[in-house]
Each structure stands twice: as structure tokens, then as C-alpha cells.
Structure 1
Amino acid sequence: MTAHDIPGQSALAELARTTARRCGVDLDAHAGDRGVSSPVNGEQLTSLSWTSADGVDAAVARAQEAFRVWRTVPAPARGALVKRLGELLAVHKDDVATLISLEVGKITSEARGEVQEMIDICDFAVGLSRQLYGRTMPSERPGHRLMETWHPLGVVGVVSAFNFPAAVWSWNTAVALVCGDPVVWKPSELAPLTALACQAILARAIAECDAPGDLSQVVVGGADVGQALVDHSGVALLSATGSTRMGRAVGPRVADRFGRSLLELGGNNAAVVGPSADLDLATRGIVFSAAGTAGQRCTTMRRLIVHSSVVEELADRLVSAYGRLPVGDPMAEGTLVGPLIHGGAYEAMQDALSRAAAEGGKLVAGGGRELADAAPNAYYARPALVRLPEQTAVVQRETFAPILYVLPYDDFDEAIALNNAVPQGLSSSVFTNDQAEAERFLSAEGSDCGIVNVNIGTSGAEIGGAFGGEKETGGGRESGSDAWRAYMRRATNTVNYSGELPLAQGVDFSV
């Protein structure tokens, strides 16, 4: 199935303008010479002015001034601002989702899901604002109290990627704000309209709550702007989402100035399908994880490790499902696979398929370009399924495109080893009705990823749990659980109410 009607340039440009206006963004006020294109048709939506690297200094200075005020505001009062942000996002849910679809090509349900994730993290952060817990520990000295307290950290810099142009910002911003930190955001240059809309919505919440106006700022620009944010000594925490290559550059630069970094980098995610698996359930989970967002999620399933007793049946089911996937205009009803972000992504996909073939792989579904006549400047591709006898070199690398490599296994130890035998460690899953297999996959000797699932796919994480991965994924954690601690500084406190001065460890220093 293929959706052939792709909107023209004028229709999408007008949609972008009117939608941005409803969010509070006047695109004329941001006009410049940098074009913003849509992957839906490959045509320009508008043009914007970019922030210079020098503008980062001014933004961080303003954020530092806001921090001096915001850190003294009680955390539950800070939560009131985030509550209002969530309310306004609910009002503008369809508007922000439309901009996401226009700029990065997400289908409507996934774009709306991204905004719902933003609303959910606001709800989480509001509750968190009353739960920034320290702890009290027993002191070895009589008449002393030993405890730890948590305090606002400082300016948080956020560098986000195109594939989640709003949600990742919200994960950082909602939590940072209740922790007492302002945010300076460098969005992907491929999705600036979404960023401006989110900033306008938060600016309205800030004004309504009488909070410091520079608590949130957006610096739209290229790599030089991102580098300026990375290197700025006034940025206490730098949260960066992107490729492992980007993380290798960012991490040492932030560490060199003794700043903190939170890195969410590459994923090369696998699912293991055991002989007892429910293949109906597995097929649905696999197709969404592998083909959703046109394979452009960090949690996209890229490897499928299937027991030899069921690999043929499951592969046949997937070939059938891939052939039925509706590819086309992401905003059209019924579309499940939208466009790749640009031509470079399509070329990377074709290069990976060629490498897989050279390494003994067989393309059994998809892989080709579609809608080239209807949208010659856009890049639509049917998700690809590749059978491989073993995990070859091409499988070791993450290709940010909808390619799923199918690999057989015979022994569960072998399956775990295949899952772990890549440099990345973000997400993983196992489909099985064997309790022992499930528990082994979740155990210390099982999957080495930061996200480990049973009987669901690799994508679709909830905000209540910490999100992130190990190895070349960077080790960072965002969103739920205790990820808030990255945005605060810890102090260990000793209170002496004894009237005496005993020293720890029995030290005698009498004078």
C-alpha cells in the first residue's frame, strides 16, 4: 500500500506559518537566509535567521541571572510553572504535532504521541517537585546528625536531535525547571520551527507564573552554536542527544572544563525471539519497533535474533507485513511510514544494504525508494528486511534508516551473546513465554543494555522510567526514576547539637 498524494510546497508552507502563529510564533519576526525544508515533499517551508556563536554567551549570561532568582524559589512553586506548561501543551497538542510532522516527517499518531510524552513528563515533574528527597544517615558521633541535601545545579544546555525534536527537550526542561535550573536549548537545525513553538508556549507559561523570563531560551544555529554551548564554562550540565561520533567529541570537551555531561547516543537495538514466543504478538511489536518513524528512532529495532525453529515462519510473517505497510504523506490518514529526513539518510540506507549483500545478506522485503515521481525532492523508502547467516560487520554499525537484520540462533546463551556483541547498549527485548529465558535476559548475565524488555519491542519507552543506555550509548539517563539527580548538586551535611566536639574515627586533636 502506498499513499500517492504528497502536498505541494505552498500548502505546507502556509500550514507551517498558520500553525506556528497559533503557538505564538511570528515567523516574519524570525525571518532570515537559512532555509527550513520539509521531508514530506523536500521543499522549503520558510527561512529563518540563526543565532551566532557569540549569541550563546549572551544567552548563558541571561540564564545565569535567571538562575540566581529561580534557585531560591521553593521547588513546589517551581512545579507550578511546569504544571502550566503541561496545560498549555495539551491545548496546543495538535499544533506542535503538526510542526513535528512537517519538519521531521513523523506520522500524525507518532507526532501526537511525542507531544503527549511532553505532557506526561510535565505531570511527572510536578509530582517530583515535592519529592526531591535527601536522606539522613546515622552518625558515629553522639549528638550529631548526618544528612544529604540536594540543591539547584545551574544552567543546563540541551542539544537535541531531529528525530524527537520536542520530547527530548521536555524531558530535560521539565525536570531541570523543578530542580531549579534554567535551560538554553540548541535544537536540531532540521527542526527549528518546533523548537520556536515550544519556546513560545513555555514563555507564555513563564509570564503567567511571574517567573524569570530567561529561564528558557532557544539558540537556533549550526554546529558552531552547539560547540559554543558545549564549551561554555557557565553551562553546568550539557545534555546532548545524537550520534556516538558526536558524543566522542562532546564528552571530552565538557570534561576538560569539569562540567557535567548527559549523553544519549547511538543505538543498535535487538530483539530475541524464542521458540515459545507468541508470533502474532512478536510480529506486531517487531514491525512497530523496526518501521516506526521510518526507522529513525534511537530505539529502533535493527537486529532480530530468532531461534532457528521459528525463524522461517516469523520471517514470512514479516515479509507479508512489510509489503502491506502504507508509505506516504505522514499527515494522511492511514499512513504508517513517512519519509526519511533527507537524501543523505536514503543514501546511507542504500549503502548499508549494499554492504549487507556483500557480506552474504539477502534482501527479502523492501529497501527501495517510493513516490519519487510524486515527490522528487523527498525520500520515501519501504522498510527493508535482510536475512543474514551471522552478525557481520555492517550489523555492528547503526544505520539510521528502516533496515532490520534477521539472524538465527540455536542456544539461548548464543542469543544473549549476539544481543551484547555490538558497541552500543541502548534498548533490547525478548519475546518468550519461557519464564526462565525472560528472567535470564533481565539478569546481570543477560542483556547489557540500559532498557531491557520482555514481550514488547525495543521502542516506546514510558517517561516514568529512566531512559538511556550503556557502552557507546553514553551512559546518560533522562526522564523518570531518579534521573533528576543529574540536574542537582549534592551536599553532605553534619549538624552538631551536642555541645561537645568529638572527632570522627576517634581522632584525638586536643589542644
Structure 2
Amino acid sequence: MGSEDKGLGFFKEIGLASNNIGSYINGQWKANGSSTTSLSPSNNQAIAQVTEPTLQDYEEGLNACNEAAKIWMTVPAPKRGEIVRQIGEALRAKLEPLGKLVSLEMGKILPEGIGEVQEIIDMCDYAVGLSRQLNGQIIPSERPDHMMLETWNPLGIVGVITAFNFPCAVLGWNACIALVCGNCVVWKGAPTTPLITIAVTKLVAEVLEKNNLPGAIFTSFCGGAEIGQAIAKDTRIPLVSFTGSTKVGLTVQKIVNERFGKCLLELSGNNAIIVMDDADIKLAVRSILFAAVGTAGQRCTTCRRLFVHESIYKDVLDQLVEVYKQVKIGDPLEKGTLVGPLHTRSSVENFKNGISAIKSQAWKILTGGSIVDSEGNFVQPTIVEISPDAPVVKEELFGPVLYVMKFQTLEEAIILNNSVPQGLSSSIFTRRPEAIFKWIGPRGSDCGIVNVNIPTNGAEIGGAFGGEKATGGGREAGSDSWKQYMRRSTCTINYGSELPLAQGINFG
């Protein structure tokens, strides 16, 4: 059956076919590896075939990318910004079909799929402005007739390894900034979302070709762990941005550190929402629902732990269970669906094992906890009453499972929030200024994202995104994250005829 027979007429619009080449090397689509099948998590049926690259293909691509870096880094930053602006326009023109592809191949609902592509477009807009603001500093010198200043120069090549749950947005966080900073980009998309990797790369490639620039400025590979390992080991890639599990992230970090490269890690989250006794309960319940079941619980910022003040505990739980019962589970491309499928069959097995572990520890499942009988990977969003000391609470079950616990004081809630190995996102619902400022202060949340009266997920691109502890410490997107993609030089210029030394040293 062709793509039109499956209702996938938009395939041609974004440059896809029944059989696709899974790597873009030196301005050409070529791959000499084995063939893999992209599956729809809604029904586990084949969408299309993709030929994956070999390590020889990788080597050819990196050699070309390394040569292209010598050209790209000499292009003035505002001119690089113009190229990124055109990439944003190309994405904007294909926003809806790309969003449909994200929903079809990853499984998130269509508004989220379109929102993910919009996030790259927003990053392009952000990076265009940034291209005229890559400023250094002039530093007062203690020596007469001397000037000190900072300069920022490109690293050369940035490697970006992305995960299935945000198969293109995380590329945008990294690539848009890396490109305006003067770096070439090598992208390895998730092995289970190769069509998204190919479709986005095709748009970038068209912009580079139209501007008579080397295609190797943006090199991309579909493929598995062997390509990721090659990127981690490659001394031609000074910075590797990795998004995925803490276990794999630790391995990547070790490999990159051993060659004195730099690592930008976005790893696991075990995020909490705290609901204080003075909270707006309706606002909190709506936020908890989105944070816990959005993307079927497969966001790194998904709310997995809910701490509710004992005085409002029953009221919050009653309302929350009621809205959970109204959630529509189904085809992510259908209007009205709030929860799509888990991404793979193995994700369903992990969910099943997690529920078994919860039941073995005799905790109470208030709603959900079952697999939906269908051809797809659908499970029921689940709420569990549990103790904060339960072993399962410390782990990240990557699905729509929410653990609910009581607390008595703000201090207790903060300790509970900080008690897990991960440190990505956190939220509190309160109207009291003293609680807000304690929460965001040095004795408050230990996470990289600290929210008040909003969910744990749905971060804006203007702020730096990332977390602490087992989340890896990386920061992507806004603020001053651009500095990670450049090397800083402190320059001292003597424009006089004497040689005074720093710290008043007299060398005779």
C-alpha cells in the first residue's frame, strides 16, 4: 500500500516516500546499511521504510562536515542568522504536515505535535535576534596602556543526539543556536522516529542549497546506538548534546570527558507539584492533569509526584479523579483526544511492570492502572496513593502514572520534592508571597526549573531549560545558553612600549 492508501497524502508534501534514505551526507541522501521500519504507535502498523547508514557513511559525513565548518565559521554571525531565519520560514510553511508526522510517528496528540514544530520555529526567531548579540566584554586592565576583552568563537561542530519523545524540538533548541554561533551540526535522531529526522533535514537542506552553502553544514543520521557511540567518541565534535536516560547519559558523558570534549546532558526527571492549603484548587487540578497525562506521561517534565496539604487532600483528589475519568484516550490525530499511545510495545511492558511493582507494595490505585485492549500502545492514566518512602517513587516510570502523597508543612514538602535523585522541574501552588520566595530561594526547590502556579511542563524557549543532579546539569534554549556552543578567549592587548606585569610583579 502507498502512503495515499493509508491516508498519508501529506507525505509527499514533506518529501517522504514509502522507502527513504536515512542519512544526509555532504549534501546528498545516501545510506548503505540495513532497512528499518517506522511504526505508528497507534496501531503498530508500518508507516514507511528507512535505510540506515553504516559507520563508513558516518565517517564520510563527518569528514565533509569538518571541512564545511571551516567555511561556516567565517560567515558573519548576522548572515548565519539570516540562514536560520529562512529555516524557520521553511518550517512555518510545513507546520501542519510536520505536526501530523510527529503525532503519527511519535504518538503525541496533534496539538502537541504542531506545538513541537512551532517550538523549532520559535527557536529560529530567537536565534536570529541572538545572531546580532553574541557579545563579549571589555574588562578594565590594572596595567597602563593595556586593554582586556573577551572574544567568543565557534567550537566547530556540535553533535546533537535526540530522544523519541521530542523528536524535533530538542534539535531546534540546540541547532538553531549552534548554527548562529558558527557551528556545523551533526544530528542523530531517535531510531524509532526516523521519518521526522528525514523530513526536518530535507527542509534545512533545501535552505542551504538555495543559498549556495555546503550541505555538510547540517549532517543528519537515522540509526541506533553505534552512530551515537561514534558521535560520543569523535574528537572532531567538541560538544555533544545528549537527551535520554540517566544511564545512557552517564556513558556518553564518560566517553566525551575522556577525550576532553564538552557534554550537554538533558536526562531523567522525577518532577513534583506541591499544592498548599491556600492554593486555587481548580487551577491546580487543571495544571496537574496536563502535567501528568500530557504526551501520555512521556515528557521529561511530566509530573510524577503530587504532594497535597492534608487539609485539602480529599478535595483535590476527588476533583482530580473526576477529571481523569473524563480524559479521552485514542488516536492522536483525532480531534478531542487528550491522551495518545505510549511510543512502543516495550513502553507498554514497562508500564505493566511498574503497575505490578506498585501492587506488590500494596499501594492504592485510585484510577487507571490497566492497559487498553487495542492494536496500539494505549494505557490508562493512573493515580496511586503511596508513601514517599516507597522505592518506586524514587524511579522514573516513563508513562502516565501519578503518585499522590500528603504533607503538613512547606518545609516538609520541600524536603520531599528534593528527596529524589533527579532535579529537573518542580511547581508549587500557593498565593502566599513568603511561600513563593522560600520555594524559589536557596532553601527551596533544588531543580533547574522552579515554577509557581503553573504545571511542571510547558517551558518557554526564552529561559534556559535543564536540571540538576541526575538530570545532568545541562541547559538548552534561551538565556545565556549560547555560551555553551562557543569558546571564550580572554584577550590582553598591550598598545604601549613598556611591559608592566600583573599583580605589580617586577621581573628586574
Once the two structures are TM-superposed, the CA of residue 11 in structure 1 deviates from its matched residue by 6.7
Once the two structures are TM-superposed, the CA of residue 27 in structure 1 deviates from its matched residue by 4.8
Bigger mean CA deviation after superposition, 252-261 or 22-31: 22-31
Cα distance in 2 for residues equivalent to 1:100 and 1:260: 30
Once the two structures are TM-superposed, the CA of residue 272 in structure 1 deviates from its matched residue by 0.5
Cα distance in 2 for residues equivalent to 1:184 and 1:400: 27
2:462 alignment partner in structure 1: 464
2:27 alignment partner in structure 1: none
**Equivalent AA in structure 2 for residue 429 of structure 1:** S
What are the equivalent positions in structure 2 for 1:143-154 lying under 5 Å apart? 143-154=145-156
1:4 alignment partner in structure 2: none
Contact 1:106 1:293 in 2 (8 A): yes
1:494 alignment partner in structure 2: 492
**Residues 6-61 of structure 1, C-alpha deviations (whole Å, 9 max, x = no match):** xxx97787445x43321234453528621111101111111111111232222111
Cα distance in 2 for residues equivalent to 1:345 and 1:359: 21
**Residues 275-309 of structure 1, C-alpha deviations (whole Å, 9 max, x = no match):** 00000000110000100000000000000011111
Once the two structures are TM-superposed, the CA of residue 154 in structure 1 deviates from its matched residue by 1.2
2:139 alignment partner in structure 1: 137
1:21 alignment partner in structure 2: 12
Cα distance in 2 for residues equivalent to 1:13 and 1:383: 33
2:115 alignment partner in structure 1: 113
Q: Which of 472, 480, 496 is equivalent to 2:478?
A: 480
Cα distance in 1 for residues equivalent to 2:320 and 2:301: 19
| 1:240 and 2:242 are equivalent in the alignment | yes
Q: Which of 382, 385, 388 is equivalent to 2:383?
A: 385
Structure 2 gaps of 5+ residues are 23-33
**Equivalent AA in structure 2 for residue 425 of structure 1:** G
**Equivalent AA in structure 2 for residue 71 of structure 1:** M
Once the two structures are TM-superposed, the CA of residue 350 in structure 1 deviates from its matched residue by 2.0
Cα distance in 2 for residues equivalent to 1:13 and 1:407: 49
Cα distance in 2 for residues equivalent to 1:13 and 1:302: 40
Cα distance in 1 for residues equivalent to 2:5 and 2:394: 39
Scaled by the length of structure 2, the TM-score of the pair is 0.96
Bigger mean CA deviation after superposition, 358-367 or 164-173: 358-367
Q: Which of 206, 216, 219 is equivalent to 1:217?
A: 219
Cα distance in 1 for residues equivalent to 2:106 and 2:20: 23
Q: Label 1:11 to 1:407 Cα distance change in 2 as closer, same or farther (>3 A).
A: farther
Scaled by the length of structure 1, the TM-score of the pair is 0.95
2:93 alignment partner in structure 1: 91
Q: Secondary structure at the match of 1:174?
A: helix
Q: Label 1:416 to 1:195 Cα distance change in 2 as closer, same or farther (>3 A).
A: same
Contact 1:160 1:187 in 2 (8 A): yes
Contact 1:305 1:415 in 2 (8 A): yes
1:439 alignment partner in structure 2: 437
1:452 alignment partner in structure 2: 450
2:412 alignment partner in structure 1: 414
Once the two structures are TM-superposed, the CA of residue 388 in structure 1 deviates from its matched residue by 1.1
Q: Secondary structure at the match of 1:369?
A: coil
Q: Label 1:455 to 1:29 Cα distance change in 2 as closer, same or farther (>3 A).
A: closer
1:505 alignment partner in structure 2: 503
**Equivalent AA in structure 1 for residue 442 of structure 2:** A
Q: Secondary structure at the match of 1:51?
A: coil
2:365 alignment partner in structure 1: 363
Once the two structures are TM-superposed, the CA of residue 344 in structure 1 deviates from its matched residue by 1.3
Q: Cα RMSD (Å) of the superposition? A: 1.4
1:6 alignment partner in structure 2: none
1:197 alignment partner in structure 2: 199
Once the two structures are TM-superposed, the CA of residue 367 in structure 1 deviates from its matched residue by 1.8
Q: Which of 99, 102, 108 is equivalent to 2:104?
A: 102
Once the two structures are TM-superposed, the CA of residue 345 in structure 1 deviates from its matched residue by 1.1
Q: Label 1:392 to 1:12 Cα distance change in 2 as closer, same or farther (>3 A).
A: farther
**Residues 60-100 of structure 1, C-alpha deviations (whole Å, 9 max, x = no match):** 11111111001111000000000001111110001111110
Once the two structures are TM-superposed, the CA of residue 391 in structure 1 deviates from its matched residue by 3.5
Contact 2:2 2:18 in 1 (8 A): no
Q: Secondary structure at the match of 2:392?
A: helix
Contact 1:93 1:115 in 2 (8 A): yes
Q: How many residues align?
A: 497
Structure 1 gaps of 5+ residues are 1-8
Contact 1:186 1:219 in 2 (8 A): yes
Once the two structures are TM-superposed, the CA of residue 366 in structure 1 deviates from its matched residue by 1.1
2:82 alignment partner in structure 1: 80
Q: Secondary structure at the match of 2:490?
A: strand
1:3 alignment partner in structure 2: none
Once the two structures are TM-superposed, the CA of residue 351 in structure 1 deviates from its matched residue by 1.6
Cα distance in 2 for residues equivalent to 1:25 and 1:122: 23
Contact 2:279 2:430 in 1 (8 A): yes
Contact 2:352 2:371 in 1 (8 A): no
Cα distance in 2 for residues equivalent to 1:148 and 1:88: 35
Cα distance in 2 for residues equivalent to 1:261 and 1:353: 34
**Equivalent AA in structure 2 for residue 463 of structure 1:** I
2:257 alignment partner in structure 1: 255
Q: Which of 162, 165, 171 is equivalent to 1:163?
A: 165
Contact 1:107 1:336 in 2 (8 A): yes
Contact 1:391 1:418 in 2 (8 A): no
| 1:311 and 2:313 are equivalent in the alignment | yes
1:64 alignment partner in structure 2: 66
Cα distance in 1 for residues equivalent to 2:7 and 2:77: 39
Q: Label 1:255 to 1:86 Cα distance change in 2 as closer, same or farther (>3 A).
A: same
1:327 alignment partner in structure 2: 329
1:175 alignment partner in structure 2: 177
Q: Secondary structure at the match of 2:163?
A: coil
**Equivalent AA in structure 1 for residue 79 of structure 2:** A
Percent identity between matched residues is 46
Contact 1:231 1:254 in 2 (8 A): yes
